[in-house]
Structure 1
Amino acid sequence: MDVLDWLLDGDPAIRWQVLRDLVDAPADQVAAERARVETEGWGARLLALRDRDGQWDGGACFPGRIADDWRAGIEHDFSDSQPWTSTLPTLVLLRDLGLEPSSPAARTTTALVVANCRWEHDGQAFFDGEVDACINGRTLSVGACFGADVDALAARLLADQLDDGGWNCWTEHGATVSSFDSTINVLEGLLEYELSGGTVAVSAARRRGEEYLLERQLFRRRSTGEVPAPRWLQLSWPPRWHYDVLRALDHLRRTGAPPDPRVAEAVQVVRDKRRPDGTWALENTHPGETWFELEDGDGRPSRWNTLRAMRVLDWYDQRLSVRA
């Protein structure tokens, strides 16, 4: 089967993005396919799992049963895996699937989350965020996407930006050097906020954060050129809070800026992972409890990675041809 036909044989969440990003279909056809995310496939399944109060699994970032344990003094070790069934990761996934923000399900869910969802950290309102930059970046992204008031959260993330241009979830514990994982989560949130027309000026901070990644060719230490985390070169879906080069490239593509010459090596990493059949594999599924799987497992062809890799390469190659 042709790769585009294979992609279009997938879930509506895949199809509408293929139509928009790879086929250049008419806007009304893209919109009609995107609308199906609310009522069919993965999007509809996730929405059907929502609690009546608008949350998923009774918690903001961790399932309610884990929050109850914490309040009782019972600690959980998430060094190897963590659950992905609570409200934040589910909302992030719905955003990535393309749930239309103006849809009845999105509007209802957002209103219920505003009214009922509180952070396990200290009971803060969901769209006010908490103390963790990774969490706050993803919260900003879903709040901006689905129309919540996240102006204060955007301002807070600007104040949390470190001197080197990025962010680190361990800042509250004294960290002064940025993290790739934290930075990509915040950058995606700032871009979503910017595209939504937010009132806080975030574009300069976003570009500083992108420069932090570009100075390191998206995956190397600035000081030595070493690759500190091999998983950054492995293509994951969903990415959760984790960084990888395809996630970074797809973010830069979405900004609308032309490719910076410093992404060339990361682009080649992605290009070299293309399989003989024209697809890209899932390489590094992040462990943890999920509602259901969206791919067939590591080592198997991945529609999500194929879609994202193809549109990144189109962005890079088309810009280069125009420049030439």
Structure 2
Amino acid sequence: MKGLITKSTGSWYQVLEYETGKFFEARIRGKFKLIKTRLTNPLAVGDLVEFSLEQDDVAWITKIEPRKNYLIRKAVNLSKEAHIIASNIDIACFIFTLKHPETSYGFLDRFLSCCEAYNIKPLILFNKMDVLSEEEKELTKEIEGLYQNIGYETLEISSYSNLNLEVLKSIIKDKVSVFFGHSGSGKSTLVNAMQPGVNIKTSAISETHLKGKHTTTFAQMHFWKFGGSVIDTPGVREFAMIDVEKEEIQHYFPEIFKTGRKCKFHNCMHINEPKCAVLEAVESGEIEETRYITYLKIMEEAEENSAQ
């Protein structure tokens, strides 16, 4: 039997069987867990699998189909390990909030670089537009312009005023999407606003630290009535790339890769080399400094991982 992983709690899975549309509680065999990998979880929501049924309709997953892509986060306290957040994604939506909470540029840029690395289409959603002052809206426009110039698609939204929610529906219709953002950025509220009745648990922002409380504790796929699905995920603090060489990282920053073609040396890493077009572009403001800083940090991490 063939199916789709629609929920993962870490110890068991929910599988949707294609032919009947029935959901089964599923486990994996011990030998399945022993596959050598740098990933802490062998299966993720979005995976296509084969399974067999035993007594009491308990499914045993026997095979996983090759993934077309996936997004991963760093595993807690394990520098070389990573955890698959979701797989086989058509479009990954990053929810950016200017305040309540404030989204860090580094977090967004890591997300975008991971989308580039694993061939996933990203969409930047500027959320909570209804709570912004005119000055803050202007700043949002500037940030949008920066990422649009690189080539990324953006959309201003609000779950409370329904700003552009119909436009968002048309973009993700009939696709497997996933929403990311800092805890409190409004991921679950957005899903509930787009399809009342889903009732994903939400939580207020912590007044003390203006940070969101984690409300989603496991990944789960929800199906849109207008077509397609969304994978709701636990709050992700940091995205990761595994098995990536230092030399490859510039490929995942489109403006750095494009500008790098003008460097004097074809193998320029854009760190401190002479006549580096990227360094000149950062100096002149043509390349945003915050993105270049993230690039350097990912380069350092790749070097540390290769040395371990």
TM-score, with structure 1 as normaliser: 0.25
Q: Which has more helix, going by share of residues?
A: 1
The structure whose Rg is larger is 2
TM-score, with structure 2 as normaliser: 0.26
Q: Which has more strand, going by share of residues?
A: 2
